[in-house]
């Protein structure tokens, strides 16, 4: 069993870290090696690896001391998506992680678009697939969901961003209710993937996206977002709190979508964006 203190991991008594031989069942890195790479290449200082937890979002919020970290759990007993939906994770096959960032981020209004786009870029780089973005938080391959993203932000007791990410990596089957709507990287490519490398790619992409937002150099990421969302010049319906609008999309960036006629809407306020 790994010594949690040796890899900078804080664990509740009810959580147990994986042994290297257990946890890296689809890869070559153990948690200590992965944490070292994360610390060298990104802003994430610690990696928490557990066999099971209620939700990686909850564990990420609870873990002390403060700082930037990543939680990876093989199983979530109460994994959740947006609007209280559940998230199905296959232990040993999928990737269920939360990236916690405790820093001041001035570009809060751009995160809802920038972070999923960065994760999309990471998964495309790992797999050579061309993925689509379904607003606000699904990444798809040919209309089937491969990845879901949940972003929770808070300012009390300190500035905190929790980015929950569920990726269908190596699974080959789904519950009956998901068989027509879900896929995995392995099903889409016919290959198996090292989940540690997928995690490292995602962490690096998120870190890079936050850096480019802070430096004002995110034009390429914005262009990727517009392309993969696929709605520029097309008729859409927008839905959100006190928003129900339809029209042709004239302009789009990480913060706003503008319809023909000049009406502009904050993307972060939209709960749904569908083509008509």
Q: What is the pLDDT of residues 248-258, one digit of tens each?
A: 999 999 999 99
Over residues 212-217, mean pLDDT: 96
Domains of the chain: 4-226 (3.30.930.10), 231-275 (2.30.30)
What pLDDT shows up at residue 78?
79
Could you tell me if 165 and 97 are in contact, meaning their C-beta atoms sit under 8 angstroms apart? yes
What pLDDT shows up at residue 82?
54
Classify residue 210 by burial, with Cβ atoms within 10 Å: 0-12, 13-18, 19+.
Answer: buried
- Rounded CA-CA distance 264/86 in Å is 32
Q: Which helix (H) or strand (E) holds 58?
A: helix 56-62
What pLDDT shows up at residue 85?
62
pLDDT tens for each residue of 192-207: 999 999 999 999 999 9
What pTM value is reported for the model? 0.88
What pLDDT shows up at residue 86?
66
Q: Given the structure tokens 């500035």, which residue do they identify? A: 159
Residue 180: DSSP 8-state: T
111 φψ region: left (φ > 0), alpha (ψ -120 to 50), beta (else)? alpha
- Write out the E strands in the chain: 46-53, 69-76, 95-101, 132-134, 138-141, 144-154, 160-167, 235-240, 243-252, 256-259, 264-266, 270-275
pLDDT tens for each residue of 118-172: 999 999 999 999 999 999 999 999 999 999 999 999 887 778 999 999 999 999 9
Provide the pLDDT confidence category of residue 29 given band limits of 50, 70 and 90: confident
Over residues 50-73, mean pLDDT: 93
């Amino acid at each position: 069993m790994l010594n949690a203190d040796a890899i900078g991991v804080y664990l509740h008594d009810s959580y147990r870290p994986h042994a290297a031989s257990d946890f890296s069942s689809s890869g070559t890195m153990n948690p200590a090696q992965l944490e070292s790479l994360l610390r060298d290449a990104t802003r994430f200082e610690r990696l928490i690896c557990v066999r099971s937890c209620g939700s990686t979002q909850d564990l990420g919020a609870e873990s002390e001391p403060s700082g930037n970290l990543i939680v990876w759990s093989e199983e979530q007993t109460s994994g959740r998506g947006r609007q209280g939906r559940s998230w199905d994770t296959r232990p040993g096959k999928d990737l269920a992680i939360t990236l916690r960032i405790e820093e001041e981020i001035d570009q809060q209004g751009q995160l809802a678009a920038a972070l999923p786009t960065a994760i999309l870029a990471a998964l495309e780089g790992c797999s050579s697939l061309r993925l689509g973005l379904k607003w606000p938080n699904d990444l798809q391959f040919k209309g089937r969901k491969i990845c879901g993203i949940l972003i929770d932000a808070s300012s009390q007791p300190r500035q905190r961003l929790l980015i929950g990410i569920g990726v269908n990596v190596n699974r080959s089957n789904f519950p009956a209710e998901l068989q027509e709507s879900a896929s995995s990287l392995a099903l889409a490519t016919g290959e198996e993937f090292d989940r540690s490398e997928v995690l490292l790619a995602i962490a690096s992409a998120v870190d890079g996206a936050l850096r480019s937002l802070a430096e004002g150099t995110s034009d390429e990421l914005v262009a990727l977002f517009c392309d993969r969302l696929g709605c520029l010049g097309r008729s859409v319906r927008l839905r959100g709190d006190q928003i129900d609008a339809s029209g042709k999309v004239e302009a789009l960036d990480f913060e706003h979508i503008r319809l023909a006629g000049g009406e502009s809407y904050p993307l972060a306020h939209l709960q749904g964006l569908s083509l008509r």
